[in-house]
Structure 1
């Protein structure tokens, strides 16, 4: 990766593709809360029971299994739209129109008598939203050179965070003064930000190199598939090329480092996500009011996350990928130790601001750098499929571990829990150091 001067690194944010990611990030972030916490608030506000609201959390499974249909998005052209807009923008537009239509449908429903239709519509919106995530991730990776991926990720995070404010606080304000149906109608109109951004974007170039074609041919031969013999054989050949070849490609390209890389992907966000599960209950339990938590997290949390993400993009351009990746892992594990200090102290609003600022700054750096790292691992022939796999692997183990957080707090208290959350970040630090060492012979050879 080419290393840039500080001036060149900061100027990355003036590139049209980088600036455009803010609008696509907004489009990706807008539907998320509208099928989760904002929808739960609407349902509760209209008298829906907590047990029914709890079932709506299953809508989130859609985001966790998006890797299942990512190969379809990667390979299947859409009639008319693909010829008009190209491979990525056609799917992006279709997903955005689907989200907007779903939100507009929700705005016409009554939770008291149409709860089944609301559930089905929420699943539809989540499916379209997860599909949009697949395409935007692929577009982001293909639209610009690898060294700018952290900057692209930073702008994506910025747009996503703004969208969370709009679909969270913004929807609540509209619901308070006009009504929930009006709030969802307004959110459906906000999706036009993403639609316009898609129409104004340029389609990335797509090329399948000779090595990829050769790999797919070898996999087909190994499976005994012949694409020119019958419909079933053609379908089998498509499955081989779209689903099996992306996995084979990853292991062939990375060789003995593949297992280490997959382990790092699974563990890098472990410390951050584990701690995040208990953050808000912790703030409340040690005596901070909901207003104090909201004020600090909205002001300090929002801006420090954006600043951290932007700084991560600059660091990647200046120093390459691995050193900032190591820095992010160290910072996330270290800042969790500040929560031990907060747990041992009397409620202090200044200390809360410092801790939240440090936590969000480190999280922002780690997020943008890690997204850039994951992007660098993909093959342009299988961008959507491979990145969907990486993003699922990135969150699933951490979420499973996070489920035990409450048991640790109940048994040992918050201070010991945060020590534990910090310690689970150590494997990620070690794995980054191992990969840096393994890559040294490659770098010297180059």
Structure 2
């Protein structure tokens, strides 16, 4: 299969079957021997998903009847994306996309007609797409409405930033060296970078690279983590000897950061799936760190809790991930309006379940990578109202914005992902 056929196959899994882009890529990319081809396939998939609403609007104008074969429909979108957004020469974009149909000979004239017609009618088609709100803003209608309802003044900027390619941000392991030392190592390796603005261990690369090119990556000297996610460890105010529980911990970035920040803390990472626990274990081994690992459902601690209270709990709650769309553009296709209420119910159930595990005087940090108020401040405010032993501690910081209950970073603010944090003391 050529690169475009593989990209169409991956996109069909995401859009047609509801599989995550990460999972689809992980199962397909290893089959591609050349690194350059792997990068091309990945770039095509991300590009189509980022611009899906606009590309699909154009395709619906070009195809007189819906294209029922999902992979052929994906090839049409891939062809349009190449013509509009890449440096691929137009004749190659058309011919190679048509060739990717393989044995589906019936599809080749269709693809050729769609792409040639686009080249002739480009201005007209794009102008029509610009009048379609979903196509113009690059988000499904229901999500546009939710973002506008929650953030009326910032909505346009949020959606524009969500459609951009994010920076590659690293977290320097302070146990192995300073951020300044690592910036020098990057410079010697020919990689331009700058320090993060808010997180003391953050380094932002000028251009993304494969992790294999990062000095000391295999020995745990550095990890990939957005700057917003790096703020969690500092908010917990960890002290030596404290028992710490990281709830819903996979893939373990925040677990590692807590141990790097406070090596003498007794940290336990909990996640529901054995394969996700395996990811945490791999990351711990790479960094040479140790933590307790528990496989269990956070909503039912009776099946895994040993009865000893924790001084600190980080609850990185499962959420809509609407704050990280720029890193996971498939979220726009996979999330549905009804998911938000279901996720809110899950978040509240987990928060109720783990609160009794916190020692008096302890601190719980509630975190999501969502920008939706229902999953964030609404949950925390409701919890504090119903629990006299829970006190909301305002997060004083020069990042994000206070929401009354907690602090919200909106997508793209200071180059960061959208994140929410709220501190509760017992």
TM-score by length of 2: 0.27
**Greater RCO (Cα-Cα under 8 Å, separation 6 or more):** 1
Greater strand proportion: 2
- Structure having the higher helix fraction is 1
